[in-house]
């Protein structure tokens, strides 16, 4: 009997994006919440901050409220900071330095991993500019700065206004007539510093006095302008700390390629392979070589085979495929039994997770920025 398989089930999918704010209820209480605060997009799990992301290209009217700007109409301070013409600008009227932090500081920097990217406009004339992190106040913070004039990059840690640690590297060259990107990334207790995409050096993690992040610049009446055109921060709980959040939650690393998610899956307890999340597919679909591997392992029995069915593909064509029941599919800690699976007609066909699996997941959400799948 010929069957035409069409999309008939709409899956409720919470997707973290910068255009929407969602909340998910698990076990009749808000165990997972996604919300916005002070320019940050934050995921909380059981009242624990799992990740926080801040992105500002200074095109929004809200940008000015996201930063602790310093304005000086009477020229009584060293420098002033404003957001104008889609840029964060720091203007100096005498010799000194200025720190401009983001207004909110939602997560601990000493305990968590983070990734900070700041792009400085090619028209900067300041003596140096860079990023502050672990900011508590103007006397307690760490910073990474670079100087195009001195061809140097410097790390400093300040405690109560006293330099408690510093390091530097020479030979840092800004690219003339191009913007310059400074990136600071912490993983596994190591802070790596990149300049224009090239790793400059790294430092061991140091305890931070605060959670603040922002911009720092130094100048004088001649070297008097620092300009930031893009700033982003991503802070995330390290993998080793996520397992204690809730035994009913599963947090899985995924990959996003060409707009689709790829998830590691275990078939019949014997074969591990990456599958694509496809809410438009009705069943699980595997390629012939994967089916042959499962046959050779002896995990597909005669009783598992089902009547073949016709499937409609994205290009509108239809084809009859062989079908059988997988005894189990496991994703993270979530295991689903007796899953209908079809065998595609091409060895190059992608592995697809369709509605026969997705509809049994229950509640789940994607953290797009950190490429995590969170399952109840």
- Indicate if 202 and 303 belong to the same structural domain: no
3-state secondary structure of 92: strand
Same domain, yes or no: 217 and 267: no
Per-residue pLDDT tens digits for 169-199: 887 777 778 999 999 999 988 999 999 999 9
Helix (H, G, I), strand (E, B) or coil at 283: coil
Could you tell me if 83 and 163 lie in one domain?
yes
The reported pLDDT for the residue numbered 372 is 87
Are 214 and 276 part of one and the same domain? no
One domain, residues 254 and 145? no
CATH at residue 176:
2.60.120.200
Shared domain check, 252 and 235: no
Q: Is 6's pLDDT higher than 50? A: no
Q: pLDDT tens for residues 140-177?
A: 999 999 998 888 999 999 999 998 877 888 877 777 78
| pLDDT beyond 50 at 238 | yes
- In the chain, how many domains are there? 2
Give the domain extent around 143. Answer: 50-239
The Cβ of residue 32 has, within 10 Å, a number of other Cβ atoms equal to 23
The model carries a pTM of: 0.74
Tell me how far apart the alpha carbons of residues 46 and 31 are, in angstroms, rounded to a whole number: 5
Whether 319 and 369 share a structural domain: yes
Same domain, 283 and 340: yes
Over the stretch 262-304, which tens digit does the pLDDT of each residue have? Answer: 999 999 999 999 999 887 777 888 999 999 999 999 999 889 9
Same domain flag for 288 and 233: no
Q: How far apart are CA 373 and CA 270, in angstroms?
A: 22
């Amino acid at each position: 009997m010929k069957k035409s398989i069409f999309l008939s089930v709409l899956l409720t999918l919470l997707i973290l994006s910068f255009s929407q704010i969602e909340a998910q209820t698990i076990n009749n209480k808000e165990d997972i919440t996604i919300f916005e605060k002070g320019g940050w997009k934050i995921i909380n799990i059981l009242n624990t901050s799992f990740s926080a992301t801040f992105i500002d290209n200074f095109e929004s009217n809200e940008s000015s409220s996201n930063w602790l700007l310093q304005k000086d109409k009477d020229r009584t301070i060293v420098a002033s900071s404003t957001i104008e013409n889609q840029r964060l600008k720091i203007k100096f009227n005498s010799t000194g330095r200025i720190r401009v932090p983001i207004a909110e500081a939602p997560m601990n920097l000493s305990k968590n991993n983070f990734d900070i990217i700041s792009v400085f406009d090619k028209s900067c004339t300041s003596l140096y500019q860079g990023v502050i992190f672990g900011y508590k106040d103007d006397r307690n913070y760490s910073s990474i700065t670079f100087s195009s004039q001195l061809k140097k990059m410097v790390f400093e840690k300040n405690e109560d206004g006293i330099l408690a640690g510093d390091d530097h590297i020479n030979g840092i060259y800004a690219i003339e007539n191009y913007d310059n990107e400074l990136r600071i990334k912490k993983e596994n207790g190591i802070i790596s510093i990149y300049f224009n995409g090239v790793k400059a050096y790294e430092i061991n993690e140091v305890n931070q006095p605060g959670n603040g992040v922002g911009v720092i610049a130094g100048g004088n009446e001649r070297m008097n302008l620092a300009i930031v055109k893009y700033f982003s921060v991503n802070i995330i709980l390290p993998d080793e700390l996520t397992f204690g959040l809730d035994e009913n939650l599963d947090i899985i690393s995924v990959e996003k390629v060409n707009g689709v998610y790829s998830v590691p899956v275990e078939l019949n307890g014997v074969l591990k392979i990456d599958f694509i999340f496809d809410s438009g597919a009705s069943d699980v679909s595997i390629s012939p070589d994967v089916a042959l591997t499962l046959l050779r392992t002896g995990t597909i029995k005669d009783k598992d085979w089902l009547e073949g069915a016709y499937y409609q593909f994205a290009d509108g064509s239809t084809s009859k495929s062989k079908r059988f029941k997988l005894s189990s599919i496991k994703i993270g800690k979530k295991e689903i039994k007796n899953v209908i699976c079809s065998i595609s007609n091409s060895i190059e066909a992608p592995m697809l997770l369709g509605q026969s699996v997705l509809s049994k997941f229950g509640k789940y959400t994607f953290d797009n920025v950190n490429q995590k799948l969170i399952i109840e």
